[in-house]
Amino acid sequence: MRRPIVAGNWKMHGTRSENARLIEEVISRYPADPAAECIVCPPYVYLQEVGRLLRDSAVLLGAQDVCAEAQGAFTGEVSATMLKDVGCQHVIVGHSERRLLNRESDQLVARKFAAAQGKALVPILCVGEQLTDRESGRTREVVARQLDAILELCGVRSLASAVIAYEPVWAIGTGRNAAPEQAQEVHAFIRARIAARDATIAAVAPILYGGSVKASNAAELLAMPDVDGGLIGGASLKADEFLAILAAAGSR
């Protein structure tokens, strides 16, 4: 069956000393043979150092974004090769903050997904609707469009080595998480859409929920049959909260 995954997206937070304190606490209390897989995604500039701190632990390292291009004159960008070189196993692509603030299109996100897989990084593909989409009954349409861009460029088999994260934009950083049934409904929709192309891959594809997950609501979200873990923002910066979410995922 699908092993639960909990990934911490630190976004643009942290300092070297804060990171060291957080990682030290997480790895000292995280089992060597954990029931849930744990990934942390620090800002680019801290990847190498956090990777060093994680050495000898079971916690994996991920980045928050990647350039779609392989190399060249792209000032400020970071390639999949570089992420691999500093020890990343995962990379988030298509986070709504990048889709919205940096105007990343579905096609660009798909190219980033492909670039990551081309260097054996596991992409964590974020999809999710905005509040206006939900209110106008367009949630499925938006999520389908975001998912289909990947299926068209990379094919359904690409999802055998990827993670999907459903993150409704209205639930991110608002303290207002999706109700477990709302999350389940979209997760089941995503799985069914994959199954229409390949049922075997749909059955193993991990689909995480993200958006105001915290220790107090993790268990009920993770109890949903198609919710395979969480992509955690704010609560991933607090060791107690993050560890409690990991524990909830592990006892799912």
Contact positions toward ligand 13P, by CB under 6 A? 9, 95, 167, 172-173, 210-213, 231-235
Q: For tokens 């106008």, name the residue.
A: 136
We find the least distance from the C-beta atom of residue 208 to ligand 13P, in angstroms, to be: 9
| Angstrom distance (rounded) from CA 159 to CA 193 | 12
CA 245 to each of CA 147, 199, 212, 250: distance values in angstroms, whole numbers, following the listed order: 27, 29, 12, 9
Q: Which is nearer to ligand 13P, 190 or 235 (CB)?
A: 235
C-beta atoms surrounding 155 within 10 Å = 13
We find the least distance from the C-beta atom of residue 157 to ligand 13P, in angstroms, to be: 25
* Catalytic sites, residue numbers: 95, 167
Q: Which is nearer to ligand 13P, 95 or 112 (CB)?
A: 95
Q: For tokens 């928050």, name the residue.
A: 64
- Contact call for residues 113 and 94 (beta carbons, < 8 A): yes
We find the least distance from the C-beta atom of residue 211 to ligand 13P, in angstroms, to be: 5
Q: Which is nearer to ligand 13P, 184 or 212 (CB)?
A: 212
- Burial zone of 220 (CB within 10 Å; 0-12 exposed, 13-18 middle, 19+ buried): middle
Q: Which is nearer to ligand 13P, 190 or 201 (CB)?
A: 190
Phi, psi of 232 (to 5 degrees): -110, 130
Q: Which is nearer to ligand 13P, 30 or 170 (CB)?
A: 170
Distance of CA 137 to the CA centre of its chain: 25
- Contact call for residues 62 and 89 (beta carbons, < 8 A): yes
We find the least distance from the C-beta atom of residue 126 to ligand 13P, in angstroms, to be: 7
- Side chain identity at residue 205, one-letter code: A
Residue nearest ligand 13P, CB atom distance: 233
We find the least distance from the C-beta atom of residue 184 to ligand 13P, in angstroms, to be: 18
